[in-house]
Each structure stands twice: as C-alpha cells, then as structure tokens.
Structure 1
Amino acid sequence: MNKRKIPLRKCVVSGEMKPKKEMVRIVRSKEGAVSIDPSGKQPGRGAYVSIDPVVVKKAWEDHTLDRILSTKLSDDFYQELHDYVAHQKARQELFGNDK
C-alpha cells in the first residue's frame, strides 16, 4: 500500500513547516473580511498559524496577521483565534491528530 503524501504548510509566526492538520488557516476575502477557515478551502488570501496558543499569543502581540493579510485586525479577532486554537489543541491531545 502506498503512503500518502502529507501536505506541509509554513507557519507565518514561527516559520516552521508542519503538516496541514497541525495548522489553522486564517483567510481574508475579496471584500476584506477576515475569518478562521477550519476547512482550509475558503476563497481568498490565506495564512497558516500553528495550533499552539503560545504562537497565537506572539502573533497577537506582534500583529503578525495584520501585516501578512494587509488589514487591521481587532483584539476580539485575536481572542477568538486564541480560544479556537486552545480548543483544537485540547482536542488533539485528547483524541490524537486524527479528527
């Protein structure tokens, strides 16, 4: 049986290459709306961040996503992202990386 190729993505905060399942995609639509993209398939400009609350905290402090997506993000969005990542990290620890 052939092994499947695991797609890798680069975290915009840490610069690490990780499997796509260990990342969360943030997308900016053509209209300029920024949202979390759990499916990884929404149209628009995307940026990947590691599923690690420490990395999200660093992105929040440095406003990394503001620069990458060329927009101004509110603290509410960063808080929502932090909560989402903390939840996903807990799920991975409980159930493993398989969803």
Structure 2
Amino acid sequence: MKTKKNPQRMCVGCQEMKSKKELLRVLRTPEGQIVLDLTGKKAGRGAYICNNETCFTKAYKEKRLERALKQALQPETYEEIKACILAVPNAN
C-alpha cells in the first residue's frame, strides 16, 4: 500500500513549514474579498498562518499577509481575521 502524502505549507508569520492541516488559510477571493477558509478548498489566492496570536501579530507588523495575498488590507480586515483566529479552537 502507498502511504498518503502530507502536504506542507509555510506559515507567513513564523516562516516554518508545517502540515497543511495544522495551519489556517486566509483567502483572497476572485472578487477581492479577504476571508478565512477553514476547509482549505475554496477558489482564490491563499496564505497560510498558524493558529496562534503571535504568528498573526508578526505577519501583521511585517505586512507578510499583504505580500502573500498581493493586496493591501484594511485594519478592519485584520481585526476580523484576528477574531476568527482566536475563535477557532487550537488543534495543536
């Protein structure tokens, strides 16, 4: 039997490679909206981030999330994403 591949993605906050299932996906939809994709399968440009506040804060301060999504983000959008990250139970 073949073993299933475990896809790896890099967190935009801490810059560490982790399993795709450990990370949350922030998505820019084709319409230009920024949303949190919990399924990891929606269409659009995605950036992955750890499910903790320190990685989010680092990504916010250094504008890594904006670079990864190739779109400037409003402060309100950051607050919405932060609230979603804090609301999602930590799987670690």
Q: Under TM normalisation by the shorter chain, which class is it? A: 0.7 to 0.9
The structure with the largest alpha-carbon Rg is 1
What is the distance in 2 between the residues matched to 1:21 and 1:78?
A: 22
Choose between structure 1 and 2 for higher RCO, CA contacts under 8 A separated by at least 6 residues: 2
Which structure is higher in helix share?
A: 1
After TM superposition, give the deviation of residue 4 of structure 1 in Å.
4.4
Q: TM-score, normalised by structure 1?
A: 0.78
Matched-pair contact (CA < 8 Å) for 2:45–2:69? yes
Amino acid at match of 1:64: R
After TM superposition, give the deviation of residue 50 of structure 1 in Å.
0.9
4+ long deviations beyond 6 Å: none
Size of the alignment, in residue pairs?
92
After TM superposition, give the deviation of residue 45 of structure 1 in Å.
0.8
- Which segments of 5 or more consecutive residues in structure 2 lack a partner in the other structure? none
What is the distance in 2 between the residues matched to 1:17 and 1:82?
A: 21
Show the counterpart of 2:16: 16
CA RMSD of aligned residues (A): 2.0
- Which segments of 5 or more consecutive residues in structure 1 lack a partner in the other structure? none
